Amino acid sequence: MTNIEDHAKQLGKQTPLPDSPDAAQLDRVPNPHADTDYLARFTAPEFTSLCPVTGQPDFATLVIDYVPDRWLVESKSLKLYLGAFRNHGAFHEDCTVGIGRRLVSLLEPRWLRIGGYWYPRGGIPIDVFWQSGPPLPNVWLPDQGVAPYRGRG
């Protein structure tokens, strides 16, 4: 098996938050169970970015589900990548779909979906969902577990 340190360049080191998502380095590590279909989930309940028009902060819960093939995303690099959006101006759709596509490009998973559950902007919540293709029939896909926005009701 390939050495994890060959692929996880930031693991075990002090690493500053990247200046932007484009500057962020996402690392991958070999999947020790590449012969098995299973779902891995990352939930980022405090994701933030900036509105590209007003510069005001936007908040979301992101849920990333994927069925890995040869690679797993290294979690520290994912945290740093997601944190890099904190000072990045982009619409909800761009953030959510862009994150999904970048992960697919890096990992080449068997399947990936991302749900972006955004808090209201201008009184309207904007939830964004993207997936790389149809789900695999033999993989259990639990509900993403984020309740729809209900306001004060």
Residues with catalytic roles: 51, 58
Q: Is 74 annotated as a binding residue?
A: yes
The rounded distance, in Å, linking the Cα atoms of 79 and 29 is 15
C-beta separation of 32 from 41 below 8 A: no
Q: Is 108 annotated as a binding residue?
A: no
Q: Is 92 annotated as a binding residue?
A: yes
Structure tokens at 21: 């998502």
Structure tokens at 98: 């862009």
Angle between helices 92-107 and 75-83 (to 10 degrees): 150
Binding residues for substrate: 73-75, 92-93
Binding residues: 73-75, 92-93
